[in-house]
Amino acid sequence: MDNFLNTQLHPAETCIVCTEPFSSTHQPVALPCKHIFGHECIKRWLKSGRGNTSACPTCRYVVVEKKSPRADFDTSSLWKALCDQPPERLHAFMTKIWSGLQVLWQRHPSGTFSVTEILDQAIIPALIKTARRTDAPNDRNYDPILDCYNLVAASWDSLGRPDSATGLGIPLVRLVRLMSSASTTLPKWLTTNARANRLLWRANACLGISETDVSWDMIMEAATLDDERYFPLLHLYTMLISQSIAHNSHPTPWPTRRHEIMNLVVERCCTKIGGIAWKGKPSNQLKDILVAVYEDLGRYQLEKGKMSLRGNNGEEGVVKGIWALSSWTLKKAEAR
């Protein structure tokens, strides 16, 4: 003990931040962790330093809890905050939605679900299970998913739980319907794939917060490649066509008559994908382009042995190339 008292108790004479000695103009102050610094130095560190400046420079004891800024509690602000969540959280949220959808499909094999069923069985349980909750009374960390649950549930309850979506419920119900429609084409393992779920989220998010339905007009606009607005939806649609090619038997021999090819492509790309779940109808021009898209994707996967589209990074170039080439092929044929 005497040895420790004589050798290890050093007076604090200098500030370790600036290495200058303490003085009447450079007053020493102690943090809760007992480390001592110059008053002005530690103040600058906490206010404008770089790195982990909410903690002691010596031991990293957290001095100031930095709270996440809270977004406005309205539909557009919360939807933006939800879309800005890390991919892994959105994937976790969508995984919970898939679980709810599985129950709905078991109850209604036709795939026709009411808004009430979607909210009650899929959306609200998924929000509850994904939200971060704490029992600490002073924990005010902002969680957009928890706020989304509070807004959706409170709004729906206050209106008497109607069989219709309002506010933030609109894009969320649309997401579930899009996922349900896609599930008739996607293999089950791909519904647990983070990249595929990210593409599903982006495809729905690009439609905004007021559109109640996916429409064929959006696909037709995106297919021109003149505007990026609905491109994520076109990417998803192309991925679904790709998965249809990968998991459905390819006719042998391939039809040679134009109307036979058209009937096959329309059945697989417009009836089984989208179908009546999407508002409106595909135009004849889109159907003509789809024939070329389907044939090009078939060659890409079946003849060249390329992997089917799965929402992976870098697929955007493949999707744009296939649609651009197919449109060019159609225009060239029409010019003859």
pTM for the predicted model, two decimal places? 0.77
Task: Provide CB contacts within 8 A for 135, sequence distance 6+.
Answer: none
Work out the average pLDDT over 43-57.
73
Question: How many other CB atoms sit within 10 Å of the CB of residue 22?
Answer: 18
User: Percentage of the chain with pLDDT > 70?
Assistant: 88
Question: Hey, what are 324's tokens?
Answer: 């651009």
Q: Where are the domains of the chain?
A: 2-48, 69-212, 215-336
Q: For the chain, state the CA radius of gyration.
A: 29
Select 2-48's CATH number: 3.30.40.10, 2.30.30.90, 3.40.50.720, 3.40.50.300: 3.30.40.10
Place of tokens 């943090």: 31
What's the pLDDT at 138? Answer: 45
pLDDT digits over 120-137, tens only? 999 999 999 999 865 444
pLDDT at 137 (0 to 100): 44
- What's the whole-number mean pLDDT along residues 168-193? 96
